[in-house]
């Protein structure tokens, strides 16, 4: 395979490596990934995360296994094991379907490698197009807000929402960014803050419960978030806490945009109620550090509710920034997403 390098995935001498995002920002540690079991474990542990990156990583692993001589039957079985690794992010399912089609070819080894490389290259291009469409919405001097992590760590390219914000910054629009820490796993506090520092984006880290006050003070001009799955009617799933941001944005009349490649659209889901929401381990909520050094733990048996995602209704969305353009509520109501059948 070509030497594919992105912030979260790379190949060297035909070997696949994953940047362990659970160790960021303190450590940049690359993990060798040679088996399906390893890839599933890395996805479940969020060592590899972000809807687009997960889908591409899974296909890169299958391509790697194909270069190691695995049979078509084994690869097809492995694709189904990978499909179950993260139930909400539809990019994983869409990319695996593309890979499964490639594996039907006579020379499935070469077809698998070509497919993975094409998916990688496609996501790089999709990210750039989303960034261009989204950055055009940003006015000079605006204060922006984002949730979770949607940069290069979560995709093969510049990212989705953070790719938009970064391009607006690069265009000299003097933006400032509020970064939601994003409890419980702190993708914003750990990963978006780190990416902003790498990119030189002026940002301030906030607790999720501070966004309302900033909007009340008129200190948020526009919000960009990512997505793990967009339903046919424009409802979308994203990291938990997104829905509350959208409600606050409507109350405070702050424009609210979801940024995602068309590979995130799932027309099989008529609306948000059909999107499966992954429930995660209780310890993710029970443990919190809060700057006190060692983690503070809730009571041992504290019952916990820990949905990894929530669903934002289309009625709360100002615009959908996709790789083919920015769509309004009227566009979506007229069926704009049906083109992504």
Ligand X SMILES: CSC[C@H]1O[C@H](OP(=O)(O)O)[C@H](O)[C@@H]1O
State which residue, 166 or 238, has the beta carbon closest to ligand X. 238
Rounded to whole angstroms, the Cα distance separating 172 from 193 reads: 20
State which residue, 76 or 124, has the beta carbon closest to ligand X. 124
State which residue, 50 or 57, has the beta carbon closest to ligand X. 50
Q: Is 286 annotated as a binding residue?
A: no
Q: Which helix (H) or strand (E) holds 18?
A: strand 15-19
Contact of 34 with 64, CB cutoff 8 Å: yes
Minimum CB separation from ligand X for residue 89, in Å? 6
Rounded to whole angstroms, the Cα distance separating 5 from 28 reads: 14
Q: Give the binding site for ligand X (CB under 6 A).
A: 46, 49-52, 148-150, 154-155, 160, 187, 226-228, 238-239, 308
Catalytic residue among 228, 266, 310, 323: 228
Minimum CB separation from ligand X for residue 128, in Å? 14
- At 268, give phi and psi (nearest 5°): -70, -20
Task: Work out the angle at residue 55's Cα, subtended by the Cα atoms of residues 51 and 61, and round it to the nearest 5 degrees.
Answer: 140
Residues 6+ apart with CB under 8 A from 217: none
State which residue, 70 or 195, has the beta carbon closest to ligand X. 195
Contact of 135 with 164, CB cutoff 8 Å: yes
Q: Is 173 annotated as a binding residue?
A: no
Burial of 224 (0-12, 13-18, 19+ CB in 10 A): buried
Q: Is 50 annotated as a binding residue?
A: yes
Q: Is 121 annotated as a binding residue?
A: no
Residue 97 falls in the annotated catalytic set: no
Rounded to whole angstroms, the Cα distance separating 275 from 333 reads: 19
Q: Is 325 annotated as a binding residue?
A: no
Minimum CB separation from ligand X for residue 339, in Å? 21
Q: Is 183 annotated as a binding residue?
A: no
State which residue, 8 or 11, has the beta carbon closest to ligand X. 8
**Ramachandran bin of 155, using left for φ above 0, alpha for ψ from -120 to 50, beta for the remaining angles:** beta
Q: Is 51 annotated as a binding residue?
A: yes
Minimum CB separation from ligand X for residue 88, in Å? 8
Buried b (16+ CB within 10 A) or exposed e, 238-261: bbbbbbbbbebbeebebebbbbbb
Contact of 56 with 119, CB cutoff 8 Å: yes
Minimum CB separation from ligand X for residue 295, in Å? 20
Residue nearest to ligand X (CB): 226
Residues belonging to the active site: 228
Q: Which residues line the annotated binding site for substrate?
A: 49-51, 86, 187, 238-239
């Amino acid at each position: 395979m070509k030497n594919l390098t992105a912030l979260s995935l790379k190949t060297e001498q035909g070997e696949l490596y994953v940047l362990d995002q659970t160790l960021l920002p303190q450590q940049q540690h690359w993990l060798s990934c040679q088996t399906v079991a390893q890839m599933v474990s890395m996805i479940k542990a969020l060592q590899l995360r972000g809807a687009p990156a997960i889908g591409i990583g899974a296909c890169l692993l299958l391509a790697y296994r194909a270069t190691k001589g695995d049979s078509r039957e084994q690869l097809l079985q492995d694709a189904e094991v990978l499909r179950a690794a993260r139930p909400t992010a539809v990019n994983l399912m869409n990319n695996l379907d593309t890979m499964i089609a490639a594996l039907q070819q006579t020379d499935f080894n070469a077809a698998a490698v070509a497919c993975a490389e094409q998916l990688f290259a496609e996501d790089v291009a999709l990210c750039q197009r989303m960034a261009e469409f989204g950055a055009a919405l940003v006015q000079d001097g605006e204060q922006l807000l984002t949730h979770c992590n949607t940069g290069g760590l979560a995709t093969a390219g510049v990212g989705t929402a953070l790719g938009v914000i970064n391009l607006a910054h690069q265009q000299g629009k003097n933006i400032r960014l509020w970064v939601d820490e994003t409890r419980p796993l702190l993708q914003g506090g750990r990963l978006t803050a780190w990416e902003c520092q790498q990119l030189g984006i002026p940002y301030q880290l906030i607790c999720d419960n501070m966004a309302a006050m900033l909007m009340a003070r008129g200190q948020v001009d526009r919000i960009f978030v990512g997505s793990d799955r967009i339903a046919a009617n424009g409802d979308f799933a994203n990291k938990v806490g997104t829905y509350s941001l959208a409600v606050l944005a409507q109350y405070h009349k702050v424009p609210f945009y979801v940024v995602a490649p068309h590979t995130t659209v799932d027309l099989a889901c008529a609306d948000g109620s059909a999107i499966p929401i992954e429930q995660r381990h209780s310890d993710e909520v029970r443990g919190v550090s809060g700057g006190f050094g060692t983690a503070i733990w809730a009571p041992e048996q504290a019952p916990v509710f820990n949905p990894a995602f929530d669903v934002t209704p289309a009625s709360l969305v100002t615009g959908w920034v996709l790789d083919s353009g920015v769509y309004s509520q009227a566009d979506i109501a007229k069926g704009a997403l049906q083109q992504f059948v």
